[in-house]
Structure 1
């Protein structure tokens, strides 16, 4: 195995995760954009989530990994279309431009929403880590919506 850095392909290293959630798009949006709800499902440290959900609005959260390590995340919302679309800029130390993740919501019937998370990373390793983290986010969101869908 070589330790040389492989040049990033022109398209980078993308991933796309898709899930169908048992909730209307407005409920999924609320879970993703309301600080107290986001903190409950996203593996964030209590009290660390601040979300100013508008183009140019800042966000921050301190995430807790499965092994208990904490790491702060910050960024800015780049595009916001209520109940449908978020483009989220994420600050990366040592990188001049933010990494971006896109969240798309498509309602399919009154109680089903398809959520698509996508991101293009600079390296395969970064993509693998981001994809794993995004999968954990979707797992948490799915569980939160299932628990909160009653009453």
Structure 2
């Protein structure tokens, strides 16, 4: 409990939880395969590079809803296949990367619960990151939802 209070006192955190009708392996592959990630995350085709191992670099050029492009870079801090991915994101003017933690828990069905956490430096940064992460999870949900004839 003490660490959570310290983290809250030193930063602005958010936690998002989403349950998908997909096995953890499918969620993991969507998040760690460049071609799949580009499809659902709004990245420029061919801009995603991933070396999914602790310390391995990644980069992607994202496209915003208004069509602007911005490059993102970082490295993987923790890689526990189909369970936990901690992604470090380089932030301009910051010596340390911002870490985003993605935890996967597979349930029966197969269903997977995703818990995404991030701590930011300011309330504004947290709000922007939380909005972006919510959009990512919405897109991932759509990407992994089986298309059924209605």
Partner residue in 1 for 2:111: 112
* 8 Å CA contact 2:41, 2:140 repeated in 1: yes
1:81-92 → structure 2 map (5 Å cutoff) = 81-92=80-91
User: What is aligned with 2:63?
Assistant: 64
Q: Which runs of 5+ in 2 are unaligned?
A: 1-6
Cα distance per residue 1:1-58 (max 9 Å; x no partner):
xxxxxxx963310000000001000110011100000000001011100011000000
The residue that corresponds to 2:52 in the other structure is: 53
Larger displacement relative to structure 2 (48-57 or 140-149): 140-149
Aligned length: 143
- 2:145: which partner in 1? 146
TM-score, scaled to structure 2? 0.91
CA RMSD for the aligned pairs?
A: 1.7
Please state whether the residue corresponding to 2:9 is helix, strand or coil.
Answer: coil
Aligned equivalents of 2:30, 2:148: Cα separation in 1: 11
In structure 1, runs of 5+ residues without a counterpart are: 1-7
Answer whether contact 1:101 1:117 (CA < 8 A) is retained: yes
Structure 1 segments of 4+ aligned residues over 6 angstroms from their partners: none
CA deviation profile, 1:69-91 (whole Å, cap 9, x unmatched) = 11000000000000000010000
Structure that is richer in helix per residue: 2
1:83 counterpart SS class? coil
1:15 maps to: 14
Q: Is the 8 A contact 1:23 1:149 kept in 2?
A: no
Instruction: Tell me, in whole angstroms, the C-alpha distance in 2 between the residues paired with 1:58 and 1:149.
Output: 37
